[in-house]
């Protein structure tokens, strides 16, 4: 199994991708990683990250020279069309041609989306690929789809998101009949705007889906559904609000625990529990958000990812391949097959 890793993606590139590659190679047997970027920078990062590594590890790492880098400041579509020697374009083309099994990047979200659309291509029957992170709900994880790829949606897009999310949770989490919930401002079927009302009707009519109805915002993290469906604007607000609340709560708890001697003693006794809570809320343990609806396994890691987060993103790509996520999505679509890249 070969994973293509963008060495210049993210705030901590190229060191974090190199460190992530080493951790992933140590963790997963039978894995090969192609690390791509400006070759001299990549070599220097690899030399530092793999110093003292077990001898076979460097042999499982392939370095590819991609001298062009797509930054967050560039227009994504134009950058993907012009910078053909960038890791994002090279990786998507190799995934399309079957030369690698998955693509992972912490780089420009827009460029990854554009590369998936115009270089890799969409699955036939999918109008808009979607980003779908796993988020904690107290009992495990739920999938939020879409979280920012499509801010303007039609009802049929939300229906497609539900099918892709259901397939993902089957392949990745082993849930045989995932519960599908639609984000709305009320639980009743008649609540919501025109988009959610029409989407509700489509989801309720599709007997292949285990649609449980509308889910209000306060219920999203209460294990009401395994897949939470919404447009990309709402999903991005939910995602960033959850990140902000988690950070604020952890800050308040830390401040209060250090406020006096008695609290400090209690904090010391509860330290293992707090460590588990922090790990459950840590995005780096999940790795990234899959780009669902394209012709291959693509994982978009957080821009601030460190080496461990990128190793987890690689692990997510490995699970997508082993779980046959793309194949499961195709099986749910009324028009199976592939739509060529533009």
Q: CB neighbours (10 Å) of residue 298?
A: 30
Of the pLDDT bands very low, low, confident and very high (cuts 50, 70, 90), residue 337 is very low
Average pLDDT on 162-187 reads 94
Output 331 or 299, whichever has higher pLDDT. Answer: 299
In sequence order, the 6+-apart residues with CB closer than 8 A to the CB of 115 are 80, 88, 89, 91, 92
CA atoms of 243 and 32, how far apart (whole Å): 33
Q: How many helices (H) and strands (E) does the chain have?
A: 12, 12
Between the alpha carbon of residue 269 and those of residues 22, 83, 255, 280, the distances in Å are 35, 54, 16, 19
pLDDT per position as a tens digit, 120-153 = 999 989 999 999 999 988 788 999 999 999 999 9
Ordered domains of the chain (ranges, CATH)? 2-126+293-332 (3.40.718.10), 134-281 (3.40.718.10)
Look at residue 281 in the predicted model and tell me its pLDDT. 64
Under DSSP, is residue 186 helix (H, G, I), strand (E, B) or coil? coil
With 70 as the cut, is the pLDDT of residue 302 above it? yes
Q: Share the mean pLDDT of the chain.
A: 91
For residue 341, pLDDT beyond 60 = no
DSSP SS3 for 201:
helix
Query: With 90 as the cut, is the pLDDT of residue 245 above it?
Result: no
Q: List the Cα angle 103/135/33 in 5-degree steps.
A: 20
Cα dist from 94 to 79, 101, 115, 180, whole Å: 18, 9, 12, 34
d(CA 207, CA 158): 16
């Amino acid at each position: 199994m070969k994973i293509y890793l963008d060495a210049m993606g993210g705030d901590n590139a190229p060191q974090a991708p190199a460190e992530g590659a080493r951790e992933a190679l140590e963790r997963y047997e039978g894995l090969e990683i192609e690390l791509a970027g400006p070759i001299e920078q990549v070599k220097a990062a690899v030399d530092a990250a793999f110093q003292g590594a077990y001898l076979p590890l460097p042999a499982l790492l392939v370095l590819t020279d991609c001298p062009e880098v797509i930054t967050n400041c560039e227009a994504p579509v134009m950058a993907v069309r012009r910078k053909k020697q960038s890791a994002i374009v090279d990786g998507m083309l190799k995934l399309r041609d079957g030369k690698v099994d998955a693509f992972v990047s912490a780089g420009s979200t827009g460029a990854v989306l554009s590369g998936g659309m115009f270089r890799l291509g969409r699955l036939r029957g999918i109008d808009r690929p979607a980003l779908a992170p796993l988020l904690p709900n107290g009992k495990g994880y739920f999938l939020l789809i879409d979280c920012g790829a499509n801010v303007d949606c039609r009802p049929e897009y939300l229906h497609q998101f539900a099918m892709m999310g259901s397939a993902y949770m089957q392949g990745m989490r082993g849930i045989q009949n995932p519960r599908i919930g639609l984000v709305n401002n009320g639980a009743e079927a008649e609540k919501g705007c025109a988009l959610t009302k029409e989407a509700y009707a489509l989801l309720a009519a599709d007997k292949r889906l285990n649609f449980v109805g509308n889910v209000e915002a306060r219920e999203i993290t209460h294990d009401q559904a395994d897949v939470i469906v919404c447009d990309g604007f709402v999903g991005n607000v939910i995602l960033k609000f959850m990140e902000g609340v988690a950070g604020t709560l952890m800050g308040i708890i830390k401040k209060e625990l250090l406020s006096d001697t008695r609290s400090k003693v209690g904090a010391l006794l509860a330290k293992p529990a707090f460590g588990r809570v922090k790990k459950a809320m840590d995005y780096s343990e999940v790795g990234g958000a899959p780009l669902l609806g394209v012709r291959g396994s693509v994982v978009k890691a957080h821009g601030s990812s460190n080496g461990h987060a990128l190793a987890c993103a690689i692990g997510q790509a490995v699970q997508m391949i082993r779980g046959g996520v793309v194949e499961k999505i195709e099986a749910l679509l009324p028009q199976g097959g592939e739509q060529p890249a533009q």
